[in-house]
Chains A and B, each alone.
Chain A
């Protein structure tokens, strides 16, 4: 993924002032920044949800996007979500989705409607929908919100496995607790990305 000179403003409030970013294969990268720094705006631009005022975003291959708030249909069950996105992605089976569900340990909720799931389980499904087509790049916006400690650990194990398989993972967070797990860490400040050491800082 190559990002060049991305600018964005909401009215007079300028959020991004020329973001440049290059994500190589097999890299676990993070972007941290304070509340309102523009992290979600940047990820929405990278995922195609939002058009930048200026700049280019280029994806070489498929990507998966996990939005910050779980984007689900409360009337449909977990299984129906997977079936719907299987058709959207043009997948032949749900093997990968089932692997992710096993890894995040929520397979037993397959027949529950999304509307009755706990916040953490909704987030697991949210993440599974972004991962189930085995994308080359994964864009994750605060992906572990609502996870308990055990699930949080499993999430990082999953991210490590993706990296080993040559996938790139970009995690956006307002905290730098996970800095030691990352290969690259940027800080979004003043509308620009600044590269930081990945030593623990929190």
Chain B
């Protein structure tokens, strides 16, 4: 093994993943939102809404359900909190870090590793917030399938996280991205809540970004039927949002000189050969 080859074995993924996580953990506003917004929103949703039974048919199971109104609203609140927080965290990182990512890519950092690192941080952030929101839910009432509830919240979180990356890459101003995330979540969840809309099991809502997660989460709360199909639907939404985010990231970090990641020699030593990096348009 030559010294140059040894240098080539760069800890690319670990370094990028570590710093992506550091960035999220140092996002104080996001940490405050997690610590305060999730419990406040879920608690208010549970306590302020009457516990009157609400009758509706859950498309996922085909069975009529009559859950307490406050428990139903608490599930919507948890979904709303998770999607907003994870969407905001990923938007903030993507919006402020876009130029930095491009600089890293131009310096030779393989974009695949940067993307995998972002995906890892998104997965960990969504998992942590989803487990936290599920644990909070269990302090108020007992969902029938808490693991499925956590999985549904997680899937909704990564979907909105990917949307946050896409918004952060495509929109020019911070306020635009925040508005886009908030309005998407509000429209998405409000239309699906049977307390607000009689069309909650209608045909239009099936095409909303958190439809799969909402069905799975509601089923997790009030039935014992496993609902893997709806987690798969949500995974489809995540895949679509992640593809948009990936394309936006690819476009923003492209190297117009057509350069590829290469191993350079150690600092202080002269390059041994001429490495051409050129661009041509005509």
Contacts and interface: CB of A to CB of B under 8 A. Distances in A.
A51 B266 CA distance: 30
A57 B258 CA distance: 11
B266 A93 contact: yes
The 7 closest A-B pairs by CB, nearest first: A96-B267, A48-B257, A51-B256, A88-B109, A88-B107, A90-B263, A75-B26
B97 A89 contact: no
A92 interface: yes
A76 to B, nearest CB: 6
B7 interface: yes
B175 interface: no
A134 interface: yes
A90 B7 contact: yes
18 contacts: A48-B257, A55-B280, A56-B279, A58-B276, A58-B278, A65-B106, A71-B102, A71-B103, A76-B22, A76-B23, A83-B15, A88-B104, A88-B107, A88-B109, A90-B7, A90-B262, A91-B7, A134-B269
A45 interface: yes
Give the size category of A's interface with B.
35 or more
A54 B3 CA distance: 40
A60 B103 contact: no
Contacts of A73: 19, 23, 96-97, 100
Nearest to A57: B279
A61 B257 contact: no
Interface string B261-282: 0111011110100111111111
Given A58-B278, A59-B277, A129-B103, A75 B27 contact: yes
Nearest to B102: A49
B108 A55 contact: no
B276 A84 contact: no
Nearest to A48: B257
